[in-house]
Structure 1
Amino acid sequence: MTQMSTCLWFAKDAEAAARQYCAAIAGSRIDAVIARPSGVPGKEGEVMMVTFTLAGAPMLAFNAEPPPGFTNAVSLVVSCDDQAELDRVWDALLDGGEAQACGWLKDRFGVAWQVVPEALPRLMTSGTPDQRARTMAALMDMVKIDAAALEAAHATA
């Protein structure tokens, strides 16, 4: 069976990043921390990679020099059931990072995240063109997303 997972390449923060992500997102866990063996580039015994699961999705964090760096061209999306979960995940991932716009943030490791309400795809694909436009206009004015405000914008006649 073919499977997919995401690999994040860090200089030295693979374990710290994986632990922060697992703490932020419910249903997540560290699966293995793998030390660098002798005979490969880098210092023997240091963390080489971490396998972890984020809300059921397999992930890998890898330490190696030089890391290619992260951009917003690739982001991890967390879809939250309610505003309380969105607020908690946003705050946990933002710790030491930088808020951007429309639910995007860069964590302290430089990884781009989108923290969105589960309702966003429904709001962006349902209703009239005017409703979808109001929803998008409301979203464009937000940094952290306010799900109730999006619902209100969509419902406004």
Structure 2
Amino acid sequence: MPRITPFLWFDDQAQEAVNFYLSIFDDSRILTQTRYGEVGPGPEGSIMTIEFELQGQTFVALNGGPHFTFNESVSFVVNCETAEEVDHYWEKLSEGGEKSHCGWLKDKFGVSWQVVPTLLQSLISDANQTKAQMVIAAMLQMQKLDVVALQTAYDDA
């Protein structure tokens, strides 16, 4: 079966971005690197692509120049089992970036991420729609998603 690999286009920060992501996610590594040759279009010898893995998910980063930038229409979800994991990934990924709402953030390279407790999906898909709607209402008031507050909203409904 074909494997789907997210491909991230950077101006010239692919190496910096990959190092940043590897420093945040355990069980991560660089798989391969390619360099531009004499035909370009990047400077000869500079990094063209870096294939890397974050917790089993393969990505490719490209130094492709300033032609394209990231936006929120595509994001990566980090599913967290604990409040401590939410805190860790929220703080690390948003360093130098921009915190938004409902668990969304942009990292310092403009890549959008959602840091989400795994508990959230079961709470908002609960058969009791009153409880589910209370959780959604609570979530809409948050930047970083608060596991305890989400559970409390569910329990209090």
Cα deviation, residue 51, structure 1: 0.7
Deviation at 1:31, TM superposition (A): 1.6
Runs ≥4 in structure 1, deviation > 2 angstroms? Answer: none
SS at match of 1:31: strand
Q: CA deviation at 1:27?
A: 2.1
Q: Which runs of 5+ in 1 are unaligned?
A: none
Structure 2 match to 1:51: 51
Gaps of 5+ in 2: none
**Residue range with higher mean Cα deviation, 26-35 or 9-18:** 26-35
Pairing 1:2-41 to 2, within 5 Å after superposition = 2-41=2-41
Distance in 2 between the 1:74 and 1:133 partners?
A: 25
Number of the residue aligned with 2:89: 89
Identity rate, percent: 38
SS of aligned partner of 2:37: coil
Which deviations, in whole Å up to 9, do the C-alpha atoms of 1:23-60 show, x marking residues without a partner? 21222222223221221211011111111111111100
CA spacing shift, 1:134–1:76, aligned 2, 3 Å? same
Structural mapping, 1:130-149, within 5 Å = 130-149=130-149
Q: Choose 65-74 or 32-41, whichever is displaced more.
A: 32-41
Give me the CA root mean square deviation. Answer: 1.1
Letter in 1 for 2:118: E
Task: Please say if residues 19 and 30 of structure 1, whose CA atoms lie closer than 8 Å, have aligned partners that are also in contact.
Answer: no
- Cα drift, residue 84 of structure 1: 0.7
Spell out, residue by residue over 1:98-138, the C-alpha distance to the aligned partner (whole angstroms, 9 max, x if none): 10001000110001100111111111111411111010011
Number of matched pairs: 157
Amino acid at match of 2:67: P
Partner of 1:150: 150
